[in-house]
Amino acid sequence: MNFSSKNSTILIYGSHVIKTHRKNLRLLLLVLLITLSSCAPTNELTIGVTKAAPLYLPKTVQRVGIMDRSAPSEENKTVDNLDKILSAEGLHLDIEGAQKAISGLSEALSNSQAFSKITIIENAGLRSPGLGIYPAVLSWETVKTICEKYQLDALYVLSYYDTDSTVDYTAFNKKVKGPAGVEIPVIEHQAKVNTNIKLGWRIYNLTNRRIEGQIPYARNVSVIGKGINPAKALSTLAGRKEAVLDASNTLAHQYGNLILPYKTRVKRIYFVKGTDNFKIGKRRAQAGQWNRAAELWIKETKNTESKIAGRAYYNMAIINEINGNLEEAIAMAQTAYTDYNNKEALKYINILKQRIINNQILAEDP
């Protein structure tokens, strides 16, 4: 329980009352955190790994087409156009934004060098409901007809593309210098246009008749203009269209890059307390001498105290992962758990198994 006044805080713990100045309290909490962290039995490290592509396409997919299906159908066109007028949206911005997304995806797929052929399909005549929602899936007969016409294995389809814009007006007083250098009070108007971009993709894989990568994207773009009246402020909004088109291109590149493996860093822990060998091993690890640290940990695997031996086997699993020996790392972690009941080792075993599966996918699709 605590009570606060302007200059001090009273903390009540059972029957004990501690009154301390706020600054002293902050210092006390800081010291407490440092003390607790120094008492932790583990340290943290990060390891660089390469992860398999988030979106997997089999090697049988070598020829792909990119198609825009985002234009609203005739029955929904009037409603879609009215929505754009009411939201201060240009009627042609969606068309240009969709075109930018198509070209951006084509660039990303070309840069990936994952396909032998990339074809942009113009005027396919397929439509969507508009208003930023996924349309019904294409029939496989339709997909087959298009793929056979253009000699493709799969279709990347921009299923919808929509922008919604709102305008916020504000006005505030300011002073400007007049002709004689005298400051004159004026009212400055500011217009802020927020444009929300929404687009969604699907991949129709004809080789196995599966729909892959149905992923929606969204991004907000804001542009501010100023002027002596609301109309002037709105007219000074420069770069809004370019910002929307650039964002559409970026989102398309992000989607295209999903088929690529990527590098990241993952966190691991290792034990640093238990015996002098763990303390020395900690310093060696901090200095980047991991193999020299392992020379000490391997000795502790023969420790007669179960807790110490379990920690040592766990650390030996860590050094094997660092050195790329994942099978041996699993064996060490399994011993740490099964023979010495090290709870951290059980979680680590599952992490290592996932890494092996990840590496198998990478080996299949280099």
Is the pLDDT higher at 128 or at 55? 55
Mean pLDDT comparison of 64-68, 124-128, 229-233, highest-scoring range: 64-68
How many domains does the structure of the chain reveal? 2
Q: Specify the range with the lowest mean pLDDT, choosing from 64-78, 79-93, 151-165, 267-281.
A: 79-93
Please give the share of the chain, as a percent, with pLDDT higher than 90.
62
Judge if 151 and 255 occupy the same domain: yes
In a domain, 307, yes or no: yes
Residue ending a domain, among 205, 229, 261, is: 261
In a domain, 251, yes or no: yes
Judge if 155 and 235 occupy the same domain: yes
Distance separating alpha carbons of residues 319 and 285, to the nearest angstrom: 10
Residue-number span of the structural domain to which 350 is assigned: 272-364
Residues 6+ apart with CB under 8 A from 326: 320, 352, 355, 356, 359
Q: Find the length of the chain.
A: 366
In a domain, 3, yes or no: no
pLDDT digit string, tens, across residues 108-167: 999 999 999 999 999 877 877 666 789 999 999 999 999 999 999 999 999 999 998 888
Is the pLDDT higher at 366 or at 300? 300
Judge if 305 and 355 occupy the same domain: yes
Residue 218 CA, distance from chain mean position:
13
The alpha carbon dihedral of 280, 284, 290, 295 has a sign of negative
Residue 363 has pLDDT above 50, yes or no: yes
In a domain, 44, yes or no: no
Judge if 278 and 173 occupy the same domain: no
Place of tokens 């007049």: 178
pLDDT of residue 2: 44
Please give the share of the chain, as a percent, with pLDDT higher than 70.
80
Residue 16 has pLDDT above 60, yes or no: no
Judge if 254 and 294 occupy the same domain: no
Cβ contact 320:349 at 8 Å: no
In a domain, 267, yes or no: no
Residue ending a domain, among 227, 261, 295, is: 261
pLDDT digit string, tens, across residues 237-263: 667 889 999 999 999 999 999 999 999
Residue ending a domain, among 238, 261, 284, is: 261
- Long-range pairs, 35-41, Cβ under 8 A, ≥24: 40/273, 41/271, 41/272, 41/273, 41/274, 41/311
CATH code, domain with 345: 1.25.40.10
Confidence of residue 91 (pLDDT cuts 50, 70, 90): low
